[in-house]
Amino acid sequence: MKKYLLLGIFSALVVACATNPITGKQNLNFVSNSELFPTSFQQYSTFLTENKVITGTADAKRVELVGSRIKAAAEKYLIYLGQSQYLKDYRWEYKLVENKEVNAWCLPGGKIVVYSGILPVTQNESGLATVMGHEVSHALANHGAQRMSAAQLQEIGGQVLGAATSGKSAQTQAIFSQAYGMGTEVGVMLPFSRSNETEADKIGLTLMAIAGYNPDDAVTFWSRMAANSGAAGTPEFMSTHPSDATRIANLKALIPEAKATALKVGVVR
């Protein structure tokens, strides 16, 4: 039985690995965009009806402007990569929502929300381009689908462990289960999330450069974010995000490549 379970996991991994058009990497992905997008679009629509969307203000217009430039940059970048069809099913929207939380997000398919609470930190178009470019990059790199797939695999692994320890005492099973949960979370899931964040930072820098913004401003924005967050908080190895110092150091190292790529692709006009 255990042999067949392991064989099933291996087969699923082989089938589920696909090359992401924007990163060129082989990624674990059990969920296709054709499955994700309808749910994403419905969730976005529901969210907008349940929250206050800000329209007509200078801030709302700025979100629309920056969003449209990031969209154009993404399209231009995918054409450069020879993947012009990759965005054909995207249905781009950029909404400013009244919420004190310092946050923004992009659902699969280009559905973007910026919370008003982050505007004092973004301060200007470049700061907003840093945030929106980063969030769009999560969608372009299929990070949502990858996290869903990793969670499914983690669950399957737990089932295999349960089958393997089924003949042992309840106490032993509980110990193995707890160790597996903590081990996969700290050793696999959290590093996986942090790598997603770094990848989104890299793509986001490229998008904002192609959109006509200075990638150096991303360092300034994340420095403001670090100051805004106050205390050090959760240790990096226990967090889904890199530490502020790690992120800023990574950004500084990635900026020259982003600028070089933008020169090759061309800046959105």
Whole-number Å distance between alpha carbons of 269 and 182: 49
Tokens representing 176 are 């193995």
Residue 8: CB partners within 8 Å, gap ≥ 6? 156
> Which residue out of 135, 197, 199, 236 is catalytically annotated?
135
**Surface-to-core class of residue 75, CB atoms within 10 Å of its CB (0-12 exposed, 13-18 middle, 19+ buried):** middle
Cβ–Cβ under 8 Å, residues 196 and 134: no
Cβ–Cβ under 8 Å, residues 248 and 219: yes
Whole-number Å distance between alpha carbons of 244 and 251: 11
Q: Is 199 a catalytic residue?
A: no
Beta bridge partners of 26: 19
Judging by DSSP bridges, how do beta strands 111-115 and 104-107 pair with one another? antiparallel
Beta bridge partners of 115: 97
Whole-number Å distance between alpha carbons of 143 and 136: 10
- Helices 125-140 and 190-210 cross at an angle (nearest 10°) of 130
Catalytic residue set: 135
